[in-house]
Structure 1
Amino acid sequence: MNIKSIGFVGTGVITEAMVRGLLAEPTYALEIHVSPRSAHIAETLAGEFAAVKIAKDNQDVVDRSDMVFLAIRPQIAEEVVRALSFTDGQMVVSVVAATERQALIDWVGANVRLVQANAYIAPLFASLAQKASGPSAEPFSTLSREFATRGGLNEQVLSDFGRKGGIAALTAALDGVLARIEGRSS
């Protein structure tokens, strides 16, 4: 599948991972338009990939894209999406967590082809796996912070998990499993 133009409303860590996955060979788009929300991420992507263009705003992303990904936090999704004008028949893919399909349809306000992320989330995981196993692999603690949207649900879970001793308990449990696999006593 090769789409002429894909756009991302919201330019956080999820968008960054998906763009990297979509532009890995074979590429899935000729152009990718990203919103300027997180300037550092948008500029990094545009600097690394000639296909990535930084839009002037979210409406510019929608106007320039055959397929639009909504990659925004659920807390701001309604406000952001309602402010946009979509074209009838445009493909819209939502990666917004914990949001009902009917709510998205109501907010979009046009007869779009709406898909919720299930079929398109693979590039995110491919990019994360690549980063975790690459030559300069970072520790899981760094990746988990990096791939959690600031103010998002993953960040909340990670914070609560660490504060309540979950990270220490999981580390001890996994060390025990490794010791068992290696034939050592834990």
Structure 2
Amino acid sequence: MTLGFIGTGTIAEAIIDGLAGTAHPVSAILVSPRNADIAARLAERHAHVRIADGNQAVIDGADTVFLAVRPQIAAEVLGALRFRAGQQVVSLIAATSAETLRGWVGPDVTLTQAIPLPFVAQQQGVTAVFPPTPQVMALFDALGTAVPISTQAEYELAGVGSALMGTFFGLLETASGWLAGQGMAPEAARSYVESLVGSVTDVARRHPDRELSVLRADHSTAGGINEQLHAQFTAQGGSTALAHAMQSVLARISGQGTSPER
């Protein structure tokens, strides 16, 4: 099987690097030359990666084509290309509906949408796949865990969930920065907070049958400091702010809102 990538950015690089560490049957990978540095890096690292002459050459030479261009330029890039009837096309383009995508690539392709995250480079993490085409599910299962999504609405919500990464790191940044500001060595503050959060996440994974509110209560002694911090965080609007932020991302993904100015 030959894979092709239109757009060679961070996620495309993570997928290609991740696949190199698996037994998934890929005979060749074609990458577009648009991002010359990343394309050259991939071709140097992996013998089966070849830089195509252009985007149309990627489509013509690949069985499965991944769309990995930024949404701001997707219409311009994809509108000039010709896909084969029945060709497997996997869109990694954020905040773009299947209807819009078909307007760019044509109605006759087999279209799947997916949300891989950078962790696929280490065969870790989850990738939402809609609809859960067997071929695409198998590929992302080799790169961690493929999560089958059955409706467009659920896929949009998975997109909102994927947007939590920056906020999660922001919480670690704030917490470790506060500890360091109070006198703890910065390296120790970061290590302590990262290890604590890793352990808490592991508890949640090992108890999928227990409500998160129950786990929170189990790890918060009545009248203790865990209960105090969460109560203050909520009272100061932390939980509400997160919910509002997620709602704004959903509005953007579903086409009911606009992208922030950059």
Q: Does 1:53 align with 2:50?
A: yes
Equivalent residues of 2:18, 2:123 under 8 A apart = no
Q: 1:59 deviation in Å?
A: 0.6
Residues paired across the two proteins, number: 148
Q: Does 1:127 align with 2:121?
A: yes
Structure 2 letter corresponding to 1:97: A
Structure 2 letter corresponding to 1:87: R
Aligned counterparts of 1:104 and 1:126: Cα–Cα separation in 2: 24
Q: Judging changes above 3 Å, is the alpha-carbon distance between structure 1 residues 51 and 129 closer, same or farther for their aligned structure 2 residues? A: closer
CA deviation digits over 1:82-134, x for unaligned, max 9? 1110000000000000001100011112400000014xx27x4231578xxxx
Q: 1:171 deviation in Å?
A: 3.0
Q: What residue is the counterpart of 1:169 in the other structure? A: 174
Q: Does 1:102 align with 2:99?
A: yes
Q: What residue is the counterpart of 1:112 in the other structure? A: 109
Aligned counterparts of 2:191 and 2:38: Cα–Cα separation in 1: 37
Q: Judging changes above 3 Å, is the alpha-carbon distance between structure 1 residues 85 and 172 closer, same or farther for their aligned structure 2 residues? A: same
Q: Which runs of 5+ in 2 are unaligned?
A: 125-161, 180-188, 197-262
Query: Residue 18 of structure 2: SS of its match in structure 1?
Result: helix
**RMSD, aligned CA:** 3.3
After the TM superposition, which parts of structure 1 deviate over 2 Å for at least 4 consecutive aligned residues? Answer: 165-168, 170-181
Q: Does 1:33 align with 2:30?
A: yes
Equivalent residues of 2:88, 2:110 under 8 A apart = yes
Output the TM-score relative to the length of structure 2: 0.49
Q: Does 1:77 align with 2:91?
A: no
Q: Which runs of 5+ in 1 are unaligned?
A: 131-153, 182-186
Q: 1:23 deviation in Å?
A: 2.0
Q: Does 1:8 align with 2:2?
A: no
Output the TM-score relative to the length of structure 1: 0.68
Indicate the structure whose relative CO is greater, using CA pairs within 8 Å and at least 6 residues apart.
1
Aligned counterparts of 1:161 and 1:127: Cα–Cα separation in 2: 20
Q: Judging changes above 3 Å, is the alpha-carbon distance between structure 1 residues 170 and 8 closer, same or farther for their aligned structure 2 residues? A: farther
Question: Highest Rg: 1 or 2?
Answer: 2
Structure 1 letter corresponding to 2:33: P
Aligned counterparts of 2:121 and 2:11: Cα–Cα separation in 1: 10
Identity of aligned residues (%): 44
